[in-house]
Structure 1
Amino acid sequence: MASPVLAPGQVSEINLTVTPANKARTPFLEIPFQLPSGMTRLDVGFEYAKAEDCALDIGIMDSRATDYPTRSGFRGWSGSARNEFFVATDAATPGYYAGWMPPGSWKLLLGMYRVPDSGVAVRLTLMADAAPRGVTAMPKPATPRVEHPGWYRGDLHCHTHHSDARGGPELLAESARLAGLDFLAVTDHNTTSQWRYFGPRSSEDLVFIPGMEVTTYRGHANVFGLNEWVDFRLGNGGDLDALVREVRRQGAILSINHDKEPLPWDYDYPDMDCMEVFHGHWLTGNDGVLAKYDRFLADGRRVSLIGGSDYHQPAEQERPGPVGLGKPTTVLWLPCLDAPAVVEALRSGHGYVTESPNGPHLAFTANGQPMGSTVTGSDDIALEVEVTGASGDRLVWVGEAGPVSEKLIPGDAWKETMRLPMPGRFLRAEILADASRAKAIKDLMDWCENRIELPRAQQSLTDAPPIRRTLSNPVYFEAPK
């Protein structure tokens, strides 16, 4: 493909046809062009005939970018959310990055999500200018820290208009405070431009966890604790090892997201730290994800269980309901509240996931060791469990072979000491809705009444499976050496 040279103030047009053969070679088609020296702004237009079987994404890289995985030169991504964007030295469309515009060979990235058999015609327009502008750098992030040990609540999966939501960061931050969250990971798709807002505004009442959702056409994964953007351009073969190495280089952690229809994980499972088992409302196929997670544990893998709402902030605040920000909520025991402590607790599994910020509390120790720990022993296990907010529901203990024991929760504030036989490689706990089941289903049906369908729902509400309100992380067991 010819590489057009842009002329200041003039529109350059690129027309091409994207075919299934293009997608078979690589998920991302690179379209090069030459940016002259001295340019301070670039505007891009993107047109094609969208259809059920035709969906393309777009992003851009500057002349510093290398082949996958690159650590520099990425200038933004909007997926299929926008038909136009701009990048300038002093500003950029949400999802994109302002800053110096180096001359040389830039590349538009076309993500080929769905391409019809007949192909699709694409029209791209580019216009650069050299008007005087300042240069804006990414602001330095704040590093708040609350010096108080305790349980802290957060949502680990949400979006703003920096990717495919309609609402901006200001509204999402307001939503998080209204929900009573202590920490928030804003995981916009394939971009970290949202950090420009959240980084300097991280505060003791709402700690921002730097994150990004690595969004591919064969599965999604969140990365938490990043210092900089991470390349998402996994090829058809996966390139997962390179992604994991880059995540580890930054001291960050990797979590596989919503491994269920319509967006299951279709690669081999990498060396992951976490798995998003509780995604959105429980009745959206999460029981199948939990079954996969239990198989990982039974096979000897140690992966922390987390949750995330996948909330896409709307343009206006919504009335609270059973689906929304903080639903579910990941609850962590932290020695202090700051971003590094949250990332370490996620890695270690020191916590649980509950249906909402006010959902049931569930904590236990095994032989005195908290969730996420390894216990050495060969006989029965001494358990201390604490549950609040789930009177009349059931506490179920689950081990390597499945459910081990269950008990009706007798009150809203319940503590008990018990012993169980060695359950195999792991033991985790969950709260199943019994007394609360009818209300949970009614609330969801009422919420769905004026909606076409429950997002990602895979089950009938009239014949719903067991509703898990809270899931603990496991304790792991090893035989004495």
Structure 2
Amino acid sequence: MTSRILFHESYTLLHDGSDGAQSRRFLRIAFSVPRGCSGISVTVGRSSVFSAQIPVILFDSQGTIRLMRISEGTIGDTEDVSLVGIREAGPGGIPGPLPAGEWHLLLYKRRFSEDIPVTVDVSAAFETDGAGFSSSNIFPGNLTFAGDRYGNAPGWYSGELHVHSNESTGRTDVAEIYEAARRENLDFVALTDHFTAAHWLRIEELRRQGPPLFIQSMEVSGDFGHANVHGLRTWVNPLVDDNRELAEFLGLETPPSMEGIADEAHRQGGLFCINHPLSGLVAWRYHDFPLEKADLLEIWCLPDRETAFLYPTLWDGFLCRGIRLTGIGSSDSHHPTQEGPWKLGQIRNWVYAESLCREDILRGLKRGASYIAMGTSRLRFVCRSGGQEYGMGDTLELAPGQECTFTAELNTPCSGNLFIFTDGMIHDIIYFGSADFGETKTHSFSAGPEAVRNAVTGSSYFRIEFHEDLVKSQFYGMAHRDHRTMRLISNPIWIKKT
């Protein structure tokens, strides 16, 4: 094995400025890779007084993403080494052939608050034993996971839709997440590492061992909000901010954007989810994004604690405007076994699907045939009229004089209050005493065409929440709920007049 230095240079990353090598967002480096290269090493050294997060991004001469390395912010003198080879790659990297020609390296000036001196070294390795490209290498663009179907029966399947591994900012590798999900009896997991597709390769190595089903996903983490993209078949460029110069540097016809990513996700048969929408500086603030192009909304995110309690109200506002986003919950896990909000299995999305395969799980989520549950709590929420039954996500048309009956059946190991909402307002509150898990708590109520009050959309909806009574009400009529008490949240059932 021999090596050769391909690039060496020192820079000052400008916190709030640009020069010939860098825009306000990216430091841009081009270098040539010779034929016969079997591995590339990228070393970035830097020194900072305050926390700095500077992802490293590498594109090959054909414009294919080969490395997207992101970690939590660091302070002081650091040196990050990233490896991409023919047969293997380090975290965030994509192994495979290394085509000769001009490659592009980016330092993404994501989060830091001072000018930072950096040194960039790129070196290439060359094998001398005649070994060449291994045809067993698989590019993420070719990973369709088409054979993954772990259950053929229609039914309710539970899973987690927001998890990170050490391929981006997570603390553990994909194998540990897989084992934790199996222990928690999760049926599906969406691994949503920031920016990269490297975790798809790790999934490919594990999927032959059987369930849980992995959904091919990634998180797009922009300056004005984060979004998970589920069900992708090929990687999408997530660099959506201040990127006109970047697009020219990379030879892109159109700069990436959140709207463009949503369109591409739908073209690939996937879904677009707005994450933790009111969470400080990672709240959703792409105000020009057409919300009709989103499919899912995180309406409960455990790490957001008190803030998460605001999300269902935001969701109601969208629903009342006719923007039918499916509500989901998440742990936004960065460590699957660590006690606290990240631990897998605490919060679950239950989805009704025709089978346990990616297409059917995504189809159930898009329909809104799902609910959020904490721990072992379970829910059945249906509406009956004219001999037919309608579930979450369905729309029932009511003729004049026709009534329908809603029924909520809850299995929860605690006492608490059932909140019934219609068009964002409380319709009723029912108290249930404590019961052992497995004992069903049931409540029914009726509605007719007069319940359709939303003149904007011409339809109305009912949804329910169940909250444990951790705080006992001291005065008549009060029913306490907050971020600690949530146990169940349904998606809505819709009604409209014929």
Give the TM-score category using the shorter length: 0.7 to 0.9
Indicate the larger mover: 155-164 or 107-116. 107-116
Deviation at 1:11, TM superposition (A): 6.0
For residues 23 and 319 of structure 2, the distance between their equivalents in structure 1, rounded to whole angstroms, comes to 36
Secondary structure of the 1:311 match is coil
Question: Which structure 2 residues correspond to residues 2-401 of structure 1 after superposition, within 5 A?
Answer: 8-10=3-5, 12-19=7-14, 20-22=16-18, 27-52=25-50, 54-65=52-63, 73-81=64-72, 83-116=80-113, 118-131=114-127, 132-135=131-134, 136-138=136-138, 141=145, 142-199=147-204, 201-202=206-207, 205-236=211-242, 239-262=257-280, 263-268=282-287, 269-270=289-290, 271-280=293-302, 283-313=305-335, 317-318=337-338, 323-356=342-375, 358-365=376-383, 367=385, 368-377=389-398, 381-401=404-424
- The Cα offsets for residues 36-86 of structure 1, whole Å up to 9 and x where unpaired, read as 222111001112224435432212111112xxxxxxx11121113581111
Which sections of structure 1, spanning at least 5 residues, go unmatched? 1-6, 66-72, 439-462
Question: What is the identity, as a one-letter code, of the residue corresponding to 2:462?
Answer: L
For residues 53 and 210 of structure 2, the distance between their equivalents in structure 1, rounded to whole angstroms, comes to 41
TM-score, with structure 2 as normaliser: 0.81
Deviation at 1:181, TM superposition (A): 0.6
Identity %: 24
Indicate the larger mover: 144-153 or 280-289. 280-289
- The Cα offsets for residues 280-306 of structure 1, whole Å up to 9 and x where unpaired, read as 257341112222111100111011011
Deviation at 1:251, TM superposition (A): 0.8
Deviation at 1:391, TM superposition (A): 4.5
Question: What is the identity, as a one-letter code, of the residue corresponding to 1:78?
Answer: R
Find the counterpart in structure 1 of residue 253 from structure 2.
none
Q: Is 1:431 aligned to 2:436, yes or no? A: no
Question: Which structure 2 residues correspond to residues 441-456 of structure 1 after superposition, within 5 A?
Answer: none
For residues 165 and 126 of structure 1, the distance between their equivalents in structure 2, rounded to whole angstroms, comes to 26
Question: What is the identity, as a one-letter code, of the residue corresponding to 2:9?
Answer: I
Residues 11 and 222 of structure 1: CA distance in aligned 2, closer, same or farther (over 3 Å) = same
For residues 252 and 347 of structure 1, the distance between their equivalents in structure 2, rounded to whole angstroms, comes to 10
Deviation at 1:390, TM superposition (A): 4.8
Structure of greater relative contact order (alpha carbons < 8 Å, 6+ residues apart): 1
The structure where strand makes up a greater share of residues is 2
TM-score, with structure 1 as normaliser: 0.84
For residues 482 and 407 of structure 2, the distance between their equivalents in structure 1, rounded to whole angstroms, comes to 31
How many residues in Structure 1 have an aligned counterpart in Structure 2? Answer: 437
For residues 228 and 284 of structure 1, the distance between their equivalents in structure 2, rounded to whole angstroms, comes to 36
Find the counterpart in structure 1 of residue 431 from structure 2.
408
Question: What is the identity, as a one-letter code, of the residue corresponding to 1:187?
Answer: T
For residues 170 and 190 of structure 1, the distance between their equivalents in structure 2, rounded to whole angstroms, comes to 20
Which sections of structure 2, spanning at least 5 residues, go unmatched? 73-78, 244-255, 454-459, 473-480
Indicate the larger mover: 345-354 or 379-388. 379-388
Secondary structure of the 1:106 match is strand
Report the RMSD for the aligned CA atoms in angstroms: 2.6
Are the counterparts in 1 of residues 306 and 483 from structure 2 also a CA contact under 8 Å? no
